């Protein structure tokens, strides 16, 4: 059989990167105009792969709406290939459900145009998630193409047995931890190995001799892949002529203007049987010691924090709360959620969420995050208002005519124990029918009663009620003009213990005659700087670190939250410390320690730690950047000028909390540096576990022998864990995606709190002064020690719960159709972690999703009167389930559909 050269035209379109979004947008309009014109006038220009992301069509048709019919025609004719993604995301820095919403949105929109390109396309992801084969296969996609994470050796080279990250071919099998397997295609010669094909014979012969040899070196079949394009590559309008020239020059090769559908079909028919099997995450240190680009996890951390908040609002509040309201008759806001998700996902491309673009890009991202957050909060507010308006709260009116009922909701799939807070307006003085001055006078002078908090049975609930100053407010009725008022508000602090998943409960404020009723119980302080509850004893040391004793296991974690500061003369992609420079540690600091809260429900200690650090790198760095000196060849060091940076570390322990919450605040005025919190575990293990995409990924603490980079920072989602058989430490975080395990320091977990640099990096000189992240900073994480056995998985649940909230809303004392206590869905398992509870647009059914954090199978039990079926990750029905029990395979993702009627 003749060898076949599959030439696939494409352009890897970074929506924003070294140019702001609108500049790229204008260039994309030009690009698309030229593409459509080329396809219209040249019937031999067979097809174009539109970079695997449907957002390119959104952006184009925003300017050229009249071209929609032309686009639809080309898609239906299978000349223009779109999807399966909405955007080309960074998989590590976007959450599990965000990755699925991206796939779901892309496939839904591509189908509306007429055809979906069913190849998992990851051309320039900075490594790939280990569960991609399972996700793609469940969505009906059995082939993926990617650019990083595996090292090709060429078919004449040996590949060591059990080498998980090396393949002799550009084709291989890629397998998820659960065993799901798809065909993987590595861009062994990158995704530009067929760009700018010459049409002139002499140049074409030289070009193809080199390109054919490069592809043959790695290909396992006679089908050779040539990617005709690169980053923002204009369309090659003379490609048809160039391929005719190539065919004349090389009669033994069949040149095809191809597409991934045809190419992958050919591979599946003819691939060799001895293909390597690559398992799990494609982020190997073996592939390149620097360019896995893991340090993008700490570039512009403020973006990661905003993203974490938005994802939590959508996944762990807006969607499940809307589903709860839908259960009781409210319309589910599919369109608003789709709009909100798309707005959020527009910040998820790898050059965007990674923080490795020019400043203008990231300024616009902040606005998008704020817009997405506003949409999520609107859905939350509307859902809570509907539930509160329909709760049956007559019991409280019977207790006292002056009762102020309120609703507390746990919309997550985890039991929640926490000290919750809510601000309630207990009295309104509306402007309508009165004067503003009269309302103001009443708000200032009328006295509120003292209150105690009671549950629906009339039992006093631990907590306190604080009167707040009067404030202006307004209501926006659905059927008439807005109502402005002055309101009297109270802040309610109450203790919630073991609140069941997907549960609504009612409480109320009952007027009492005595003033200032306080919480019942003793202080959590057992000595001057020691806080203690049932699970933990936490002593804050003179240098601001903390010693934590986990009572069940007896493990003591000493001097946790040591601060470490180093210079960074790298860039937004890569951290690089000046060679030979030692870090500045807070070990010898004398912290100013004070109690900031002391109640029976919660205790908090603040340690103010002052560190003397260099103000910046020295003057050589600016010259080296200007001269395009690669980061690892730079000789710049630290400035001799220093400044004093005060870092306030607040440790918060709740009576019902199994973890120690940590808040870190500082005003960053230094340049070119990284700040980390070091948590020494003292545990003896070679492995650790990180929350990844639908996976608690098992990773080695040590580095490969070929690893060049002295920094071994890695990605996490919501937690990282180190444990032995007797117990361990889980650290949960809110938007702190970078960590490093330091095995030579007793398996210390280093959590990056700040990294500031002055340039984008990569291929040119792109200054990014705002990447220094100057100004006030606040970071939040939680230290969760655990015992042996399944306590490990309970700590994972605690970590997930740390990133979500309980929600409250004022209710009325009237009769409603929702019981005053209601659980929407009861479920149980040992090693499964919940990720989604929403309503599917196409079916109107509820979607419930979990994944198995263990390699062993586990039993999922759903207690519901609804009919249950197994769904795929797209929410499509597969088969009905008998009863409420099902086995979830080790590392499996399981999606259940629950029929509404």
Q: Please list the active-site residues.
A: 124
Q: Which residue has the tokens 């004022």?
A: 810
Do residues 699 and 774 touch, judged by C-beta distance below 8 A? no
Exposed / middle / buried, residue 587 (Cβ in 10 Å: 0-12, 13-18, 19+): middle
Whose CA is closest to 770, among 308, 300, 373, 445? 300
Name the pairing type of β-strands 592-598 and 602-614: antiparallel
Between the two ends of the chain, the Cα-to-Cα distance in Å is 57
Do residues 812 and 708 touch, judged by C-beta distance below 8 A? no
Q: How far apart are CA 270 and CA 183, in angstroms?
A: 12
Helix, strand, coil share (%) of the chain residues, nearest 5? 25, 35, 40
29, HSE (Cβ side, Cα atoms, 13 Å): 14
Query: What six digits make up the tokens of 883?
Result: 């009863």
Q: How far apart are CA 174 and CA 59, in angstroms?
A: 33
Do residues 50 and 80 touch, judged by C-beta distance below 8 A? yes
Do residues 122 and 144 touch, judged by C-beta distance below 8 A? yes
Residue 754 phi/psi, 5-degree rounding, is -160, 140
Name the pairing type of β-strands 562-567 and 673-679: antiparallel
Q: How far apart are CA 416 and CA 798, in angstroms?
A: 8
CB within 8 Å of 710: residues ≥ 6 apart? 577
Q: How far apart are CA 800 and CA 716, in angstroms?
A: 13
C-alpha separations of 179 from 136, 166, 325, 891 in Å: 13, 19, 38, 9
Q: Give the residue ranges of DSSP H helices in 250-317.
A: 260-270, 301-313
Exposed / middle / buried, residue 889 (Cβ in 10 Å: 0-12, 13-18, 19+): middle
Give me the residues paired with residue 595 across strands. 605
Could you give the angle at which helices 319-327 and 359-389 cross, rounded to 10 degrees?
20
DSSP for 84-124, please give it.
SBSS-B-TTTS-HHHHHHHHHHHHHHHHHHT----SEEESS
Could you give the angle at which helices 201-216 and 239-249 cross, rounded to 10 degrees?
80
| H/E element, 241 | helix 239-249
DSSP for 803-833, please give it.
TS--EEEE--SS--SB-SEEES-EEE-SSEE
Do residues 140 and 261 touch, judged by C-beta distance below 8 A? no
Query: What six digits make up the tokens of 249?
Result: 């020059």
Angle at 756 between CA 754 and CA 759, to 5 degrees: 150
Do residues 471 and 489 touch, judged by C-beta distance below 8 A? yes
């Amino acid at each position: 059989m003749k060898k076949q050269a599959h030439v696939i035209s494409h352009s890897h379109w970074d929506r924003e990167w070294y140019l702001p979004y609108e500049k790229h947008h204008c260039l994309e309009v030009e690009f698309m105009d030229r593409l459509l014109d080329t396809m219209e006038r040249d019937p031999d220009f067979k097809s174009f792969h539109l970079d695997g992301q449907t957002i390119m069509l959104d952006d184009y048709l925003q300017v050229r709406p009249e071209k929609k019919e032309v686009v639809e025609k080309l898609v239906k004719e299978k000349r223009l290939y779109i999807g399966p993604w909405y955007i080309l995301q960074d998989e590590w820095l976007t959450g599990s459900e965000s990755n699925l919403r991206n796939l779901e949105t892309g496939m839904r929109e591509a189908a509306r145009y007429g055809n979906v390109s069913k190849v998992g396309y990851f051309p320039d992801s900075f490594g790939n998630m280990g569960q991609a084969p399972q996700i793609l296969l469940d969505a009906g996609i059995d082939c993926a193409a990617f650019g990083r994470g595996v090292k090709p050796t060429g078919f004449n080279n040996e590949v060591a047995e059990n080498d998980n990250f090396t393949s002799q071919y550009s084709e291989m099998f890629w397998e998820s931890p659960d065993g799901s397997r798809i065909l993987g295609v590595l861009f062994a010669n990158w995704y530009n190995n067929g760009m700018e094909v010459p049409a002139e014979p002499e140049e074409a012969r030289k070009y193809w001799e080199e390109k054919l040899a490069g592809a043959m070196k790695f290909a396992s079949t006679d089908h050779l892949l040539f990617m005709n394009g690169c980053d923002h590559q204009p369309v090659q309008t003379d490609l048809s002529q160039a391929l005719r020239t190539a065919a004349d020059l090389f009669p033994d090769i069949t040149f095809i203007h191809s597409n991934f559908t045809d190419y992958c079909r050919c591979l599946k028919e003819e691939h060799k049987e001895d293909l390597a099997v690559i398992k799990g995450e494609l982020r190997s240190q073996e592939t390149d010691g620097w360019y896995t680009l893991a340090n993008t996890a700490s570039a512009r951390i403020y973006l990661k924090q905003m993203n974490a908040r938005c994802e939590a609002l959508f996944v762990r509040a807006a969607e499940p709360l809307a589903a709860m309201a839908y259960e009781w008759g409210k319309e589910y806001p599919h369109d608003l959620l789709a709009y909100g998700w798309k707005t959020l996902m527009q910040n998820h491309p790898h050059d965007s969420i990674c923080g490795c673009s020019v400043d203008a890009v990231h300024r616009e991202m902040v606005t998008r995050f704020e817009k997405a957050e506003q949409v999520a909060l609107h859905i939350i507010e509307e859902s809570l208002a509907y539930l509160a308006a329909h709760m049956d709260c007559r019991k409280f009116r019977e207790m006292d005519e002056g009762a102020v009922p309120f609703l507390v909701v746990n919309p997550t799939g985890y039991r929640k124990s926490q000290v919750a807070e809510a601000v309630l307006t207990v009295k309104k003085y509306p402007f309508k029918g009165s004067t503003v001055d009269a309302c103001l006078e009443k708000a200032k002078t009328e006295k509120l009663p003292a209150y105690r908090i009671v549950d629906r049975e009339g039992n006093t609930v631990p907590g306190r009620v604080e009167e707040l100053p009067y404030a202006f407010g307004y209501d926006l009725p659905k059927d008439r003009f807005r109502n402005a008022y002055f309101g009297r508000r109270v802040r309610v602090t109450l203790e919630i213990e073991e609140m069941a998943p997907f549960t609504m409960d009612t409480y109320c404020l009952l007027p009492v005659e005595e003033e200032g009723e306080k919480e019942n119980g003793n202080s959590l302080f057992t000595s001057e700087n020691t806080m203690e509850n049932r699970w933990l004893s936490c002593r804050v040391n003179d240098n601001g670190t903390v010693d934590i004793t986990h009572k069940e296991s007896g493990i003591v974690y000493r001097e946790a939250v040591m601060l470490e500061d180093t210079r960074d003369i790298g860039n937004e992609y890569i951290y690089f410390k000046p060679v030979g420079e030692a870090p500045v540690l807070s070990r010898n600091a004398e912290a100013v320690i004070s109690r900031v809260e002391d109640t029976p429900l919660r205790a908090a200690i603040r340690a103010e730690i002052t560190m003397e650090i260099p103000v910046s790198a020295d003057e050589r760095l600016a010259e080296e950047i200007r001269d395009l000196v690669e980061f690892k060849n730079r000789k710049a060091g630290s400035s001799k000028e220093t400044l004093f940076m005060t870092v306030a570390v607040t440790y918060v322990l709740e009576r019902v909390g199994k973890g120690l919450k940590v808040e870190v605040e500082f005003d960053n005025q230094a340049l070119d540096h990284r700040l980390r919190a070091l948590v020494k575990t003292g545990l003896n293990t070679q492995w650790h576990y990180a929350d990844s995409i639908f996976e608690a990924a098992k990773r080695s603490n040590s580095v490969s022998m070929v690893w060049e980079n002295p920094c071994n920072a890695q990605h996490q989602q919501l937690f990282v864990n180190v444990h032995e058989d007797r117990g361990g430490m889980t650290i949960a975080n809110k938007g702190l995606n970078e960590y490093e395990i330091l095995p030579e320091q007793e398996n210390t977990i280093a959590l990056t709190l700040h990294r500031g640099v002055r340039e984008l990096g990569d291929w040119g000189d792109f200054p990014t002064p705002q990447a220094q992240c100057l100004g006030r900073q606040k970071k939040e994480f939680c230290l969760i020690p655990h015992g042996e056995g399944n306590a490990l998985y309970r700590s994972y649940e605690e970590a997930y719960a740390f990133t979500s909230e309980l929600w409250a809303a004022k209710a009325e004392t009237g009769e409603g159709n929702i019981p005053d206590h209601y659980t929407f869905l009861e479920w149980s398992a040992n090693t499964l972690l919940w990720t989604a509870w929403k309503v599917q647009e196409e079916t109107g059914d509820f979607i419930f999703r979990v994944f198995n954090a263990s390699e062993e199978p586990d039993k999922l039990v759903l207690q519901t009167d609804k009919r249950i079926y197994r769904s795929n990750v797209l929410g499509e029905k597969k088969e009905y389930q008998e009863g409420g029990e099902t086995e979830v395979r080790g590392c499996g993702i399981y999606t259940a559909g629950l029929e509404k009627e």
